Amino acid sequence: MSITSLIAGIFCVFVALFLFVSWIRERSILMIGWTIGLLTVAGGLFTRHLAIELLGAAIMVVSWMLDEAATARMYQKHHMNLQEDAIKEIGPLSSGSDLDAVSHEIILNSPGENIDEVVQAIRRIYVIDQIHAEYMVIGCPRPVKQFVSKTEADYVKSKLEEAGAEVEVRPM
């Protein structure tokens, strides 16, 4: 075994351990897939089997694709529930039976200078995990949520603008 393979294998193991710890916190498909993939690549490097290294790389790619598909499904549905504190601050929302009552969308145009503060603001408003909130903020401009009431839209806009973001509320 060459010293390069040994160093690369040890690096893969350490990165995999870091990703595993992150997976415990976030429960992301991407994190666990990359952990398994990197450990497989490390095994291939240690045993000098190219097929094992390629299998590890394939596991990483498939986990990335699954994570992207899950993220896309979440954004298409926009079924993020409000946090309890946000519900208390907004007050009674419309029942949703009237189309005009839920015909607004919240567009995040720019996160401003403090991206972390905007991510945390989104997480204080909606029940959403860290990874998906970051995807939402990094991918600007993008809808935060669609088919919401004017009251909810104005509330979210004010909270995100307090965090430094540029937000627009549009009728749908």
Instruction: Report d(CA 149, CA 93) in Å as an integer.
Output: 7
pLDDT of residue 159: 92
Instruction: Report d(CA 171, CA 49) in Å as an integer.
Output: 57
Residues 6+ apart with CB under 8 A from 145: 78, 80, 105, 106, 126, 152, 156
Residue with the bigger pLDDT between 73 and 133: it is 133
Task: Give the bridge partners for 106, in sequence order.
Answer: 145, 169
Model confidence at 161: pLDDT above 70 = yes
Give the mean model confidence (pLDDT) for residues 122-150.
Answer: 84
pLDDT tens string 68-113? 666 655 554 445 667 677 777 776 655 444 545 667 888 999 998 8
Would you place residue 169 in the very low, low, confident or very high pLDDT band (cuts 50, 70, 90)?
very high
pLDDT of residue 72: 59
pLDDT of residue 76: 47
Instruction: Report d(CA 110, CA 15) in Å as an integer.
Output: 31
Model confidence at 117: pLDDT above 90 = yes
Give the mean model confidence (pLDDT) for residues 120-124.
Answer: 90
Instruction: Report d(CA 72, CA 126) in Å as an integer.
Output: 17
Output phi, psi for 7, to 5 deg: -65, -45
Model confidence at 149: pLDDT above 80 = yes
pLDDT tens string 17-74? 777 776 666 666 666 777 777 778 877 777 777 777 777 777 777 777 776 666 655 5
